[in-house]
Amino acid sequence: MDRQARRRLEKRAAILKALAHPARLMLIEELSRGERCVCELHEAAGGDFSTVSRRLAQLRQAGLLLAEKRGLQVFYRLRSRCVLRLLQCADNAVKTASREVRR
């Protein structure tokens, strides 16, 4: 495998790793409805501000979110909505596996 292919696979793995937590997936779902400030995301997620901020930072570092500071507030939005297709694919896989288990 050449260096470029390896780098591409590492970047994909970083994105999937960032998504691999229920709380971070919930944040992605919240942001699928539009831009939100940290205070709104904190309220939706529960938990403390530092935990929510850390989860948002992980998603941002993976390239999934954009952040914009306005005054004292930080607003987040999805960088690319195509991540939602990946989540739909995961939902479809769960449904298919569930049907196969019932047979």
- In degrees and rounded to multiples of 5, residue 69 shows phi and psi of -90, 130
pLDDT tens, position by position, 13-57? 999 999 999 999 999 999 999 999 999 999 888 878 899 999 999
What pLDDT shows up at residue 30? 96
Domains of the chain, start order? 3-102 (1.10.10.10)
Tell me the pLDDT of the chain averaged across its residues: 93
| Residue 1 confidence class, pLDDT cut points 50, 70, 90 | confident
Distance CA 67, CA 98 (A): 37
Distance CA 86, CA 96 (A): 15
What pLDDT shows up at residue 79? 97
The share of the chain scoring above pLDDT 90, in percent, equals 82
pTM score: 0.88
Choice between 64 and 49, residue whose per-residue pLDDT is larger: 64
Local structure of 64: helix, strand or coil:
coil
